[in-house]
Chains A and B, each alone.
Chain A
């Protein structure tokens, strides 16, 4: 089938911040600032007139309390003109990919043909909350008029009222199944019989591959200038452990199931801060602007699955994408599956080798060649855009043709997207 260049979404260029572990340098800034930096830098590098952008779409999971619709704040602060609208999208861990597919849907529908998409997350800054009981007491205190009334209201507080509810923990728990994301990974490890050792080995490989790919990763990263910090900028992922050993990984205690569990901080994705942005447009617009795209989005699929086994999401999305396109993972030069948990990726690999998924097995030697979120970190809103960016940059550098990216999504979903170069 001949494709329509007016309806084909191509990626011109993309950038990301380094991904920094929670509590490090990006604690000094926030998700908005990270997003502003990647969008501003993307505009600067591509040299396009910001006025031609039809919309900015950004993913963000824990949206900053001080920037409702963070996408709009990012757009204006990054120098997009006021007439360019912006919206924030949320599909949990795949929000950054959702931004891209939302743009593709708009393009197909004839609603604009130039978009900036991406995602941002600052997990350091996810707030702590007061309980509802404590909040009611604060409200009573602020309503009290007389000194006596205030004293009575103040007297109602108990020490427990000041114990915060950790927002990050809430965000990583699925309210339907009641399971924490790590607990869903433990479930997969049990049901698919994935050993602690296999998970640690997978994690080790993630670090080793990422460490070996420092130069390649540098092509994706733009420095973030931090006038408040000592060096004044950050331009390297700080989650990658160059000297990672299996022994060190094996010594870590399981986090989610203390006695018999297998999922540790070492074989799970790291909690990080970061942002990524992509300039996308119709193929015909790119041609008229004289821009050379990195590649195009062939198709994508979003699928639902059991929230208790959310980690299996990629298998279902890859199956649905196959049904739409007839493409198989083995056709791809490169497969990027987000590493939420080693156990979860390994379970997907096993599942894709079983009968309902015939012929859809992942080419393991071409899976996550530069490591994944276990080494690089997983700023949830941003990772979706990072995977698209890294896949296209790898194809460009290594001469491949096509790439498959896929995600598991908290709450029981999967996402998959097929990308290919134009040449």
Chain B
């Protein structure tokens, strides 16, 4: 009888760590799913207007242009609304070359279907928007999407 017991002297066995990888993977997957990739940090205030007749935007063929007042940590750029493309402020004249640059970075088969997403703060003057649109016409990027928050339709 005692032949089978001589190993067991009463100490606790080590806790199994076999499930640790599972937990780690679970966390990893969760963060992978929940994280929104953002390739440029906004230097402007960006409160989008709202609209209810919205369509979905296809991200793969879109170039984003932002505009609005410089936000509080970028006060040195003044209070006049500015245009932002990628990570820098640009002037109206630079819009055209920025769009060309954006198109050239895109997938080749989507280049002809380019959509310019305009993320413009709702307190911006519409004059700036029409300046941007004029430049887009010069750059021959004629499809624009005025990006807006979805408003529930009022009855």
Physical interaction between A and B? no
Question: B residues touching A (Cβ–Cβ < 8 Å)?
Answer: none
